[in-house]
Amino acid sequence: MKFLGNLLWLIFGGFAIFMEYMLAGIALCVTIVGIPFGIQSFKLGILALWPFGQKIEYMDYAPGCLSTIMNILWFFIGGIWIALTHLFFGILLGITIIGIPWAGQHFKMMSLAFTPFGRRLV
């Protein structure tokens, strides 16, 4: 079932979202300062490529206050817009009965888009 959900996700826009995250990650990694944000963009891209069957969890170790500062910077630089986009598509897909599983994936991605530092994909 996960394979079918991921396949339909890729066909109906998941690959475009993946490419958007990858291109943004490459653009951020071109600068030295943007490398941590580029890595988080790659993390979001991996989740956007194959979201069904993946979980988001906090890291076992305490990443410290640097993670909090980076999440605040991420939020104001672009995280809010990414999260609002996922919220919009999640609500739009959640209106229909058939789109509820994909809405759930958008809400999962919205959670990661708010605070990607200090989390990992499992």
- Angle value at C-alpha 110, between 43 and 97, nearest 5 degrees: 120
User: Residues 19-45: pLDDT tens digits?
Assistant: 988 998 999 899 989 999 999 999 999
Task: Report the alpha-carbon distance of residue 35 to residue 112 in Å, rounded.
Answer: 18
User: What is the DSSP code (8-state) at residue 118?
Assistant: T
Q: How many domains does the chain have?
A: 1
Whole domain around residue 72: which residue ranges? 2-121
| pLDDT one-digit tens code per residue, 83-119 | 888 899 889 989 998 889 999 999 999 888 888 888 8
Q: Which residues contact 87 (CB under 8 A, 6 or more apart)?
A: 106, 107, 110
- For the question of whether the overall pTM of this predicted structure is more than 0.75, the answer is yes
Cβ neighbours, 10 Å, residue 17: 23
Report how far residue 119's alpha carbon sits from residue 52's, in angstroms, rounded to the nearest whole number: 17
